[in-house]
Structure 1
Amino acid sequence: MFDSTTPKNRQIAIVLAFASMATPIAGFHKFYLGQPGWGLVYLLLSWTPIPHIAAAIEAVWYLTQDDTHFGTNSNSLLPDRAIGQSPHLANALLRTHPVATISESIRELDKLRADGLISEYEFEQKRRQWLDRA
């Protein structure tokens, strides 16, 4: 539905989160942000008020973030984004400097986790992806 490789726009995420809050079906913003698992959870729970309340909270959260913070939170969680926009560039860098690139990427992820921008689960998932590439 939405392309997970393009940078996400904060205003679109806000509108979709408010739409998820106001319509009978919730989770539009999760699909847009490249989180289809959470989008599916929101859809399955749409008959309850839980995803609508969560969407309202997230809409306010997105409103309070500046574009840089939002971009760091929603756009740099893809493993290839940590070292460039192109998967080919990422693979080339990993072939030439695998340990340095992976360790630097894990350090950046750890900073995001320490700042509360990603959860412990997201950190561990991305860390494993980077280590599996080595």
Structure 2
Amino acid sequence: MMLAERSRRTAVILAWLGVLTPLTGLHKFYLGQPFWGAVYIVLGLVIPIPKVACAIEGVMLLRQSSDDFDQRWSKTNKVAPATATLDPAQISALGVALRELDTLRQEGLISELEFEQKRRQLLDQVA
């Protein structure tokens, strides 16, 4: 089962548990990185480098603010994305302007570069 909200405290405890016990990499599984968790476990059986990495990551997770941790590791969005409302008349006018530009380009009255610049300007006005 995937956890939507991950606790920074739990991640730090699991990272430090990897330093103190042979169970290196549990924090990676908790943070949704099973490949790296498996790499830590396999390498932890042979060499002590994953223990050092767990200690460093434990300190990094501890120093990270709660907001930064949530932004990076939590799967839920706390802020709803802003939706832009576009006026249908504005969209219609944009379509007409783009068609007129394309006609000018096809007739050779403006170059490809001019067409692209003006097209981008029109699209940037809407966005």
Superposition TM-score, scaled by structure 2 size: 0.56
Kept in 2: contact 1:14–1:59 (CA 8 A)? yes
Q: Which has the larger radius of gyration?
A: 2
Q: Matched residues in 2 for 1:69 and 1:14: separation?
A: 14
Q: Matched residues in 1 for 2:33 and 2:2: separation?
A: 9
- Runs of 4+ off more than 3 Å: 81-85
Instruction: Measure how far apart 1:24 and its partner are.
Output: 1.4
Q: Matched residues in 1 for 2:2 and 2:19: separation?
A: 22
Aligned residue for 2:6, secondary structure, equals coil
Which of 14, 27, 30 is matched with 2:12 structurally?
Answer: 14
Instruction: Measure how far apart 1:83 and its partner are.
Output: 9.5
Structure 1: tracts of 5 or more residues without a match: 86-134
**Equivalent residues, number:** 80
Structure 2: tracts of 5 or more residues without a match: 81-127
Instruction: Measure how far apart 1:25 and its partner are.
Output: 2.4
Greater RCO (CA < 8 Å, at least 6 residues apart):
2
Kept in 2: contact 1:4–1:33 (CA 8 A)? no
Instruction: Measure how far apart 1:4 and its partner are.
Output: 2.5
Residue identity in the other structure for 2:29: F
Superposition TM-score, scaled by structure 1 size: 0.53
Aligned residue for 1:45, secondary structure, equals helix
Aligned residue for 2:44, secondary structure, equals coil
Aligned residue for 1:72, secondary structure, equals helix
Kept in 2: contact 1:21–1:56 (CA 8 A)? yes
Match of 1:44 in 2: 42
Q: Matched residues in 1 for 2:21 and 2:48: separation?
A: 11
Match of 2:58 in 1: 59
Kept in 2: contact 1:30–1:36 (CA 8 A)? yes
Match of 2:22 in 1: 24
Structure 2 residue 74 is matched with structure 1 residue 75: yes
Kept in 2: contact 1:27–1:51 (CA 8 A)? yes
Instruction: Measure how far apart 1:34 and its partner are.
Output: 1.1
